[in-house]
Amino acid sequence: MKHACREISKLASDSLDRPLSVWERLRFRFHLSMCSSCNNCNENMILIRKSTALMQQTDYGHARLSEAQRQQLHASLDKNLCD
Amino acid sequence: MADDNNPHTWLNEHGDYLYRYAISRLHNEEQASDMLQETLLAGWKGHTGFSGQSSVRTWLVGILKHKIIDHIRKEIRERNLMTAVEADPTTPYFDTDGRWHEAPHAWHESPEALCSSSQFHDVLEQCMRKLPASQQAVFRMREISGEDTESVCKSCDITSTNLHVLLYRARMALRHCLQHHWFEQEKH
């Protein structure tokens, strides 16, 4: 099966976003039963999904404009407002 | 004209709030600051259209929201044009027969253990920041915000096939990055 692992890795990702067709699912399951690398890849992707789902979004609650950014914004506003 | 109707005052009074909004969506300080500037200028040009029915802040957030969506869409469009000519970034992971160059290993950590580790959080964040902005944007929307595929396609103005390719590339790059920067490292 040429290009098998490469195609299977795409199916592993796709299976997280859409239902696979019957044929795709058969091919996917069959390949995984024989190929530990692709099986690991599939499990890795699932673990990435599960751990990111549990993760809080990065908290930007305390993010502020730095003094330099603020100065720069005031300056570029001046420049643009005069044009 | 009332004194508060001026971009400098808006920047002083709402700058941090708008900046937080932008950075929580773009995850990039420079882009967040650029979007803020565009918003203030667009607000200035269109401020006669401000009805005064909503607060200035709500009105500015509305402008900013559109600026951010436009920015992401533009990034994806440009990326798509490039993708047509650039090499598939997943190619290096496979030989010409489509077999793994470097076989994926089993990862023996639970999602609960991973997500409670701030070190893992940092590594994942660094791995995500290495992704092209379009992959990063769709990956964050899909996996961290947990949006369904339809809504991600809609916000980014892309087809589902396109989205599947972007997510595939993102997951492959993250898998590879985490393998090297987390799972292969000494026990944490």
Q: What is the nearest CA distance from B115 to chain A, expressed in angstroms?
A: 5
Find the Cα–Cα–Cα–Cα dihedral B122, B124, B129, B132, rounded to 10°: 180
CB A78 within 8 A of CB B41: no
Say if the Cβ atoms of B29 and A7 lie within 8 Å: no
**Residues of chain A contacting B103 with CB distance shorter than 8 Å:** 36-37, 40
* Domains within chain B, CATH numbers bracketed: 7-73 (1.10.1740.10), 91-183 (1.10.10.10)
Quickly tell me which residue has 């990326």 as its tokens: B79
Q: What is the nearest CA distance from A80 to chain B, expressed in angstroms?
A: 8
For chain A positions 46-75, those within 8 Å of chain B (CB to CB) are 47-55, 57-58, 60-61, 63-65, 69-70, 72-74
CB B43 within 8 A of CB B65: no
ipTM score for this prediction = 0.78
Q: What is the C-alpha to C-alpha distance for residues A28 and B149, in angstroms, rounded to an integer? A: 22
Residue A19 token pair: 């239902």
Residue A61 token pair: 């609650």
Answer whether residue A82 is part of any domain.
no
Q: What is the C-alpha to C-alpha distance for residues B11 and B157, in angstroms, rounded to an integer? A: 30
pLDDT at A80: 85
pLDDT at B144: 86
Q: What is the mean pLDDT of residues B109-132?
A: 89
Q: What is the mean pLDDT of residues B131-157?
A: 89
Quickly tell me which residue has 């990063």 as its tokens: B136
**Residues of chain B contacting A77 with CB distance shorter than 8 Å:** 7-8, 11, 37, 40-41
Model confidence at B4, pLDDT cuts 50, 70, 90, reads: low
Model confidence at B98, pLDDT cuts 50, 70, 90, reads: very high
Model confidence at A62, pLDDT cuts 50, 70, 90, reads: confident
Q: With an 8 Å Cβ cutoff, is A20 touching chain B?
A: no
Find the CB nearest A3 among B98, B163, B167. B98
Q: Does residue B54 carry a pLDDT above 80? A: no
Answer whether residue A6 is part of any domain.
yes
Answer whether residue A78 is part of any domain.
no
Residue A35 token pair: 């190929």
Mean pLDDT computed over every residue of chain B: 87
Residue partners of B105: CB distance under 8 A and separation at least 6: A40, B179, B183, B184
pLDDT at B5: 77
pLDDT at B1: 44
Say if the Cβ atoms of B15 and A2 lie within 8 Å: no
Q: With an 8 Å Cβ cutoff, is B181 touching chain A?
A: no
From A11-20, A73-82, B164-173, the region with the lowest mean pLDDT: A73-82
Answer whether residue A18 is part of any domain.
yes
Find the CB nearest B104 among A3, A37, A61. A37
Q: What is the mean pLDDT of residues B96-100?
A: 92
Q: What is the mean pLDDT of residues B157-175?
A: 94
What is the CA A46 to chain-centroid distance, rounded?
A: 11
Model confidence at B178, pLDDT cuts 50, 70, 90, reads: very high
Answer whether residue A62 is part of any domain.
no
Answer whether residue A33 is part of any domain.
yes
Q: What is the mean pLDDT of residues B10-33?
A: 90
pTM exceeds cut of 0.90:
no
Residue partners of B162: CB distance under 8 A and separation at least 6: B80, B153
Q: What is the nearest CA distance from B79 to chain A, expressed in angstroms?
A: 20
Q: Does residue A83 carry a pLDDT above 70? A: no
From A43-52, B6-15, B76-85, B120-129, the region with the lowest mean pLDDT: B76-85
Q: Which domain holds residue A39?
A: 1-53
Q: How many domains does chain A have?
A: 1
Answer whether residue A40 is part of any domain.
yes
Q: With an 8 Å Cβ cutoff, is A80 touching chain B?
A: yes
Model confidence at A13, pLDDT cuts 50, 70, 90, reads: very high
Answer whether residue A22 is part of any domain.
yes
Say if the Cβ atoms of B171 and A38 lie within 8 Å: no
Q: With an 8 Å Cβ cutoff, is B121 touching chain A?
A: yes
**Residues of chain A contacting B172 with CB distance shorter than 8 Å:** 9, 13
Q: What is the mean pLDDT of residues B134-142?
A: 89
Find the CB nearest B167 among A13, A63, A81. A13
Q: What is the mean pLDDT of residues B151-156?
A: 89
pLDDT at B188: 59
